[in-house]
Amino acid sequence: MPRKKAPEKPDFEQSMKALEQLVERLENGDLTLEESLQEFERGMVLTRQCQTLLEEAEQRVRILTEKNSLANFNGSGNDE
């Protein structure tokens, strides 16, 4: 039996767009209290996803920057 592919996590841009749309719906004031609470909860989940994605990107940049600094320190740069 073939394994089901795990659903992909939305990327940062998708999560931000969904969050912006959610904020618009909340700001319109047309939702019931229960709907507003559900949207707020969803917004919190999206916010955590965005924060996690940003932290992961920051870590990758830090690693790449450190590797480049080490390469230059070890003499692989064009220093005279």
What's the average model confidence in pLDDT over 44-56?
96
CATH topology of domain 12-74: Helix Hairpins (1.10.287)
When pLDDT is cut at 50, 70 and 90, the band that residue 68 belongs to is: confident
Cα angle value 16/22/23 (rounded, 5°): 90
For the full predicted model, state whether its pTM sits above 0.85: no
Q: Which of 60, 27, 26 is nearest to 40 (CA)?
A: 26
The per-residue pLDDT for 10 is: 73
Q: How far apart are CA 61 and CA 57, in angstroms?
A: 6
- Identify the band that residue 5 occupies on the pLDDT scale cut at 50, 70 and 90: low
Give residue limits of the domains in the chain.
12-74
Per-residue pLDDT of 9-47, as tens digits, reads 779 999 999 999 999 999 999 999 999 999 999 999 999
